[in-house]
Amino acid sequence: MSSVAVNDTDFESEVLNADKPVVVDFWAEWCGPCKQLSPVVDELANELKDSVKVVKVNIDEAPEAPTKYGVRGVPTLMIFKDGQVVDTRVGGMPKSQLQDWIAGQV
């Protein structure tokens, strides 16, 4: 299972009410670093599917969630546990660093 596209309509059900930790990738089509990070996020979604859910939110198509959670730049990655943000990272990062960050939070 790769990452799931989420919008403002299903953000609550897919992220806040999820039964396991959720990594949310806030991104935009026009964002170069987002495009570089996207395949890495998809790879980790497949590798970590048993312990973590990974979703992507296009900030241009779903402006409510990024506004609510204070997203100021993209890519922004947030980890949610039990409906709450537990950590945030802004900007691209290598796969190993992203993997370590996720492992340290879940």
Q: What is the CATH number of the domain that holds 32?
A: 3.40.30.10
Please state, in angstroms and rounded to a whole number, the distance separating the CA atoms of residues 99 and 27: 18
**Chain centre to alpha carbon of residue 56:** 5
**Catalytic pick from 6, 22, 24, 31?**
31
Q: Which of 6, 34, 48, 98 is catalytic?
A: 34
- pLDDT profile of the chain (106 residues), mean per 10: 88 96 97 95 94 96 96 97 97 94 92
pLDDT for residue 8:
95
Is 10 part of the annotated catalytic residue set? Answer: no
Please list the residues that pair with 46 across neighbouring strands.
none
Helix axes 95-105 and 32-47, enclosed angle (nearest 10): 60
Residue numbers of the domain that contains 30: 4-105
- Which string of DSSP letters, residue by residue, matches 22-67? EEEEEE-TT-HHHHHHHHHHHHHHHHTTTT-EEEEEETTT--HHHH
Domain count of the chain? 1
The answer to whether residue 87 is catalytic is no
